[in-house]
Structure 1
Amino acid sequence: MSLCTECFKKGNHQRHDFNMFLSQAGGACDCGDTSVMKETGFCDRHGPNKGANKGNAPSDLMCVAEAMMPRIIFRLIQYLRENSKHISPDTYKDAIRDADFFISMLLDFNNMGGLMRRVMTLALTNPQKYRELNEVPENLDTEYDQYLAESKRIYEEALKSVPNPEPLEEYKECPSLQEQLVHKTFLEELVFWTVKFEFPQKVVCLLLHMLPDPDYKEALTKAFVLHYSRIPMMLERSNDPDTLSNCVVHVSVQLFSNESLALRMTEQLNLLHVMVVSLKYMMSKILMQNTLHDANKNFHLVVDCGKRVMKEHCYWPLVSDLNNVLSHRPVALKFMADDSLLRMWFTFLAMFQGMNVNHRELSQHVEFEPNTYYAAFSAELEASAYPMWALVSHLTDPSTAHLTRRVLTACLNEFREWLEAINFTSPSMNDILQVSFHLPLHRYLAVFLCQAVAKQGITLDEVLPSSETLKLLMMHPLRVQVSFYIDDLKINRNMHSNKISKRSCKKRKGRMIVTLEFHHQ
C-alpha cells in the first residue's frame, strides 16, 4: 500500500518505526480503502467518523461544474484523437507534453476534494453524456459538426489499429475478449487512449488520483480489463518495453490487489481467461520447431528464446498481474475449478516444455555461451514457477483435494500430448548429445503430487498414471541429472586434474555411475 504525505502526517504513528521514500511514477493514496488498510491506520480525514457532524452540500453549489466537466473531459478525448494519426513514440510523447497544462488543470480539480472529484467521476462514467457529446448531426451544417465527424472517423480508425487476440469459441461473447471495442463512457475511451499512447505518466496519474471514489475504482477496473488483451501487442511494439511494463503494472497493481474487486472482475468479465489468453497470444507469435530427439519426427512448438519478447521480458507485466490475482484465495480456487481454464494454462506451459535445447559440442570449444540461457530460465521462473507456488499455497487441507485432482488431470493430459508431439515412445530411446533443462510440466506434476500426499490425504495410487507413462515421464528429468553430473565431473577434472583426491574422484564417479545405471534401467 502507499500513502500520500498529507495522510501519512495526519495518521497515528506513535511508537512506529518507518522508512519513507517518494514514488517517482506517481500513484494513488490507499488511505480510506478498507480492502488495503485497517481503519485504525486511516488519517482523521478518512477515518470511520469522517462523515460525522457534516451536512450535505447545497444542491446548486456544483451545478456549473456538473455542466462543464463532461465537455472539459471530452476536449481531452478529442485532443488525443487528433494526435493519434501517424503515431510514433516521439509524436505521442510530444502530444502529451503539449497537453500538460490541460491535464494538470484536471488534476487540480481532483485535488479540490471529494465534491469536485465526485463531479469528475460521474462525468467520466456517465453513458448518456458520452453518447450526447459524441453524436454527429446528419447534415454537418457547421464547422464544429464537420470537426465532430472527422474526430469520430479518426477514433474508429484507431480502434482497428489495436486488435484483440483470437479468443476461444466459448468466450467469443465475453465483453473483455470482443474483437471490436465498444466504448460507452469517457472513462472507457480514455483508458483506450492510455493503452494506445503507451501509458503516459500524466494521464495515468489522472486516472489513479480519482481511486478514492469506490464507484469510480470499479468502473476503472472494468475499463482496464476490457482493454487488457490489447496490452501484449503494445508491449511487443514498444521501443522501450521495460518502461512500458513498469507503467502497466503501476496501474494494474492498484486495481488487482483488491481481493473483492479482483473476484468480481473474474466472475463478471472472465479476468483469468483474459490474462491467460493474453499470455498465450504473446508467446504464440514467437514459436519455433522443437529439436528434442529426432527433429524430423518432432512436431512440438516451443518459444524461441532468442526473440525480443523473451530477451527483454516483455511478458513480465502480464505474469506479474496473474500472480497478483492468484494470491487471492477465492480467485485461485476459481482458477483451479475451471477445466477449460486449466487446459488453456497447461497448453501455455507446454510452450516452455523442452525449450532452449542444449547440444553437446564434441569437436571444438564453445567460446561464448548463447545469451538465451538467461531468457529461458527467467521465463520458466516468472511465467511458470511463480504462478504454480501461488496456486499451491491455497491447497493446504483435504477440503481442496478435488481441485488438486483437477490440476493433476489437466497436467497429465497435456503431458501425454507432449510425449506424442515429440515422438517419445520408449524409455530406451538414446540421445546423449542434447538436453533441455526446462520441464515446467514435470515441475507442476511433482509439486502438486507432493502437496496432494503431504497435505490433502490423497494416495499416490489415486493420482499416478500407468507405469508405462511414468517410465516415459521420468526420462527427461533423469537426463538433466546425468547432464549435470557429467558436466560437474568434467569441470572438476579440468580445474583439479592434479589436485583432486582419489577418494573425491571415486565418490564423484560413483554418483555418476549410479545415475547412469538408473537411467539405463
Structure 2
Amino acid sequence: MSNSTAQVLMKKGKRGAAAYIHADCASGSPQHLGPLLDVLLNPSKAIDEWETIDWCRWLLAGGRTPDEFAAVVRSYDKHDKCGLVWIPRVVAYRCRTCGISPCMSICRDCFHRGDHSNHDFNMFLSQAGGACDCGDNSVMKEDGFCSNHGNKCPRTGAAPAELMCVAEAMMPRLILRLLQHFRENSWGPQTTSDSYRIAVQECEGYVQMLMEFNNMGDLMRSAMTKALINPQMYRNLVEPPFPDTEYGRYMAESNKMYEKAIESFPAPEPPDEYRHLAALAPRLMHHTLLDEFIFWTFKYEFPQNVVCFLLNMLPDQDYKEHLTRTFVLHYARIPLVLEQAADPDTLSNRVVHMSVQLFSNEALALRCVQQLQLLHVMVLSLRLMMGRILVPSTLHHAHRHRVIDCTKRLMKEHCYWPLVSDFNNVLSHKSVALLFLQDDALVDMWFEFLSMLQGMNVNVRETGGHIEFEPSSYYAAFSCELEAAAYPMWSVLSHLCEPAHAPLARRMVAAALARLQDWLHAANLTQPHVHRTEAMHASFHFPLHRYLAAFLCAGVRCMGLRAAELLPSQELLALLAVHPLRVQITRQADATLTSATL
C-alpha cells in the first residue's frame, strides 16, 4: 500500500477509514494500518498536530465514535484497583488502620466510598503527588477497599475478541512516535533544562491522548502495557537494518541520536567491587519500549505529564514489576540528574512521586533487593553523591577526617532528599530491613556514609563581638542528619523487637564502635581532655554516637542483651563522651550568656 493509497483511504473520512482498518485488523493479518500510520505519524509533522491526534482517536474506535468506543471499553473494566494519579498540592487521605505500607494513600472518592469510621486516618495536601492504592492488597488491607474496587465490585464478562484489535496493533507505533520526539530533542549544543521543558510542552496534547486511552480501563491498559514491555516488539521497531525508504533513513538517524544521548548521559563511578552490578553499569541497556521510556523520563528531568502517564498503568501487575525493575536499573543516575537540574526541589518531588509507588510494595521491593541489589545501589548512590562535596574537618583540626560541606547547593537545596526518602521507604518493610542488617558489607558501607556527617558544620564560639547574621548552613546540617541518618535508624529499630534479633543489634553496635574508633584516630583525639581553644569548636552532629546509643539501648531493653557484653573499655567510653558533653556545655553556656545579656 503506497502513500497515495493511504491518501485514498483517508478520503473515506475518519469513521469510514476506521471501520475499514478495524475489519482489516480483525482478519488477523492487517495489511493497511502500518502504511496509514506512516502517513499519520510521519515524524516530519509536529507531534501535537490536532488533526493527527483526532485521526488516532477515530482509528482506535474502529467505526464507532471515540466516545461510544470509550464507553464500551469501560463497561468491561474489572475495577480491581483504582490507580488514580494526582499531581502535587492535591488533597488525599492516609489510613494507618488500613495501610500495610506507611506510604499508602487513597484518593478522596475512594476514601468516602469506603468505611473508615473510627480509623486512624488523616487528610493531607500531597507534596510530591501520588496514586490511589485502593484495591491493592499489597499496600492496604482488603476491608479498607471502597465499594468500587477489589473484591467488592461486580465482575464483568469477557470482551469480544475483535474489540481491541486495532488498539493492540496501533499502540506500539503510538508509543514509538513519542520516543521519536524525545530523541529528536535530546541532542545539540543548546540542550538545557529549558529546552527539555519546551520539548515536553510540545508533546502535551499527544501525551494527553495516551492518558485518555489509558483511562478507558483494564482492556486498553493491557494493550498499552503489552506494547511497552515486549522485547521483540521493541527490536522490530527500533533496531537495524532499516529499509531504504524515507522512513528507514529517518529511523537510522533517530538511532544515532539515541546512541549519542546514551553515551552523553552521566554514569556513576562505583567502587571496583560493585562495578558488576547491572544498575551501576557505565552504559545503559534497553530491551523494551518501557526501558527507553524510563531513560527519557530521567533525561528530561521527570516531566509531570510523562510521570503521570507511566504511573497511570500501575494497576497492571506485570507492568508494575517491569517498571520497578527498569527504574532500579536507572536509579544510580538520579543523583547526577538532580545535581544538574535547574530546579532540584521540583525534580525531587517528581522523582518521589514515581518511586514511592514502586517501593511501597514489600514483595516487589524485596525482589529488587535480592535480584538487583537495590539497597547497595541506594547506599552507594547516596555515598557517591555526598562524596563529591567533602571537605577536611575543622574539629580538632582533624584534616584526616573529611565531612560534608553544608554550604554547598546539594545540601542547601536538599538534592539528596529523594534518595533518603526511598531508602526510608524500603526500610519500612521488615523483610528488607532484616536483609540490610544481615549484610556486613552493606552495614559497613552505610556507616562509611554516616562518617561523612560525623562532626560536620563546626560552630566556633565568638566571645569578642556580636555576630550580625548566622550562616544558614546549620539548617542544612540538621535537616540532613535527621532525614539521612536518624529516620533510617528508627525505621530499622522499629523491626527489632524480640530476642531472636539480638545478633543483628550486636552487629550494629560493633559496626558503630569500629567506625567511631576510626573517627577518633582520624581526629587525633587520644585523651578526654582537650585544649581550651579546641573547646571553642563544637559540632552538633554525631550520628555514629546516636547509632551506638540507640542499638545498645534497644538490644538491652528488647532483645535480652547485657550492656556489659557490648560496652567498650572505660578509656574508649571516656573519649566517646567528650563531644556529647561539649554539646551540653555549649548549650548551657549559651543559655547563661543569653540570660546575662537580658
Q: Same fold (TM over 0.5)?
A: yes
Residue type at the aligned position of 1:412: L
Q: Which amino acid aligns with 1:302?
A: V
Distance in 1, matches of 2:311 and 2:352, equals 12
Residue 339 of structure 1: aligned partner: 440
Bigger mean CA deviation after superposition, 150-159 or 340-349:
150-159
Deviations 1:195-216 (A, max 9, x none): 1111111101100110111111
What is the alpha-carbon distance in structure 2 between the residues aligned to residue 469 and residue 487 of structure 1? 28
Deviation, structure 1 residue 474:
1.4
In structure 1, list runs of 5 or more residues that go unmatched. 496-521
Provide the C-alpha distance between the structure 2 equivalents of 1:328 and 1:73, rounded to a whole number of angstroms. Answer: 35
Tell me the percent identity.
59
How far did residue 417 of structure 1 move? 1.3
Is residue 163 of structure 2 the alignment partner of residue 61 of structure 1?
Answer: yes
Q: How does 1:366-445 map to 2 (within 5 A)?
A: 366-430=467-531, 431-445=534-548
- Is residue 447 of structure 1 aligned with residue 550 of structure 2? yes
Whether 1:117 and 2:221 are equivalent positions in the alignment is: yes
Give the match for residue 48 of structure 1: 151
Query: Mind listing any 5+ residue stretches in structure 2 that lack a counterpart?
Result: 1-103
1:499 is aligned to none
Give the corresponding residue for 2:407. 306
Kept in 1: contact 2:129–2:349 (CA 8 A): no
Look up the match of 1:77. 179
User: Structure 1 counterpart of 2:176, which letter?
Assistant: F
1-structure distance, mates of 2:584, 2:118: 53
Correspondence for 2:420 among 310, 319, 323: 319
CA contact (8 A) 2:184 2:257 kept: yes
1:87 to 188, 191, 213: 191
Q: Residues 154-194 of structure 1: CA distance to partner in whole angstroms, max 9, x if unpaired?
A: 11221233323222333322222211110111111111111
1:101 corresponds to 2:101: no
Q: CA shift at 1:57, angstroms?
A: 2.8
SS of residue paired to 1:457 = coil
How far apart are the structure 2 equivalents of 1:24 and 1:364? 42
Give the aligned residue type for 1:285.
R
Please state whether the residue corresponding to 1:293 is helix, strand or coil.
helix
**Structure 1, residues 52-98: CA drift from partner, whole Å, max 9, x if none?**
4x443333332222121111111111111111124212211111111
The worse-fitting range, judged by mean Cα deviation, of 84-93 and 238-247 is 84-93
Preserved CA contact (<8 Å) 2:412 2:473: yes
Counterpart of 1:130? 234
* Per-residue deviation, 1:7: 4.8
Q: Give the TM-score taking structure 2 as reference length.
A: 0.78
* Distance of 1:312 and 1:70 partners within structure 2: 39
Taking the aligned partners of 2:125 and 2:397, their CA distance within structure 1 comes to: 56
Instruction: Note if contact 1:26-1:205 (Cα within 8 Å) is conserved in structure 2.
Output: no
Confirm whether residue 365 of structure 1 aligns to residue 466 of structure 2: yes
Q: SS state of the match for residue 288, structure 1?
A: strand
CA distance in 2, matches of 1:63, 1:292: 70
Q: Is 1:169 matched with 2:282?
A: no
Q: Which stretch shifts more, 159-168 or 317-326?
A: 159-168
One-letter code aligned to 1:405: R
Letter in 1 for 2:392: Q
* Structure 1 counterpart SS, 2:403: strand
2-structure distance, mates of 1:380, 1:128: 47
Residue 211 of structure 1 contacts residue 217 of structure 1 at CA under 8 Å; is this kept in 2?
yes
Q: Aligned-pair distance for 1:464?
A: 1.4
For this pair of structures, how many residues does the alignment match?
Answer: 491
Work out which of the residue numbers 188, 191, 213 in structure 1 matches 2:291: 188
Aligned CA RMSD, in angstroms, stands at 2.2
* Distance change (3 Å), C-alpha of 1:173 and 1:59: farther
Change (3 A) 1:22 1:98: farther
Structure 2: how far apart are the matches of 1:231 and 1:261?
A: 20
Distance of 2:378 and 2:467 partners within structure 1: 40
Q: Which of 345, 353, 365 pairs up with 1:242? A: 345
* Alpha-carbon separation, structure 1, partners of 2:346 and 2:562: 48
Deviates most, 28-37 or 343-352 = 28-37
Code of the residue aligned with 2:491 in structure 1: it is A
| SS of alignment partner, residue 180 of structure 2 | helix
> How far off is 1:43 after superposition?
4.1
CA distance, structure 2, for counterparts of residue 2 and residue 311 of structure 1: 29
Q: By how many angstroms is 1:14 displaced?
A: 8.0
| Contact 2:454-2:542 within 8 A present in 1 as well | yes
Q: In structure 1, give the amino acid aligned to 2:136.
A: D
The secondary structure found in structure 2 opposite 1:351 is helix
Code of the residue aligned with 1:262 in structure 2: it is A
Q: Are the equivalent residues in 2 in contact too, given 1:25–1:201 (CA < 8 A)?
A: no
Q: Distance in 1 between matches of 2:502 and 2:128?
A: 43
For 1:400 and 1:23, the matched residues in 2 are separated by 36
2:131 partner SS:
coil
Q: Aligned in 2, Cα 1:422/1:109: closer, same or farther, shift over 3 Å? A: same
Partner of 2:384: 281
Kept in 2, the 8 Å contact 1:304–1:355? The answer is yes
What SS does structure 1 have at the residue aligned with 2:150?
Answer: coil
- Indicate conservation of the 8 Å contact 1:40/1:47, yes or no: no
Rounded Cα–Cα distance in structure 1 between residues aligned with 2:351 and 2:201? 19
The separation in 2 between residues aligned to 1:43 and 1:432, in whole angstroms, is: 61
Following TM superposition, by how much is the alpha carbon of 1:360 offset from its aligned partner in structure 2, in angstroms? 2.1
What corresponds to 1:203 in structure 2?
306
Q: Is the 8 A contact 2:403 2:452 kept in 1?
A: yes
- Is 1:217 paired with 2:320? yes
Pairs within 5 Å for 1:488-507 = 488-495=591-598
Code of the aligned partner of 2:406: C
Distance 1:65 1:443, change over 3 A: same
Residue type of the partner of 2:142? E
Flag the 1:51–1:166 CA change in 2: closer, same or farther, 3 A: farther
Q: Which amino acid aligns with 1:121?
A: T
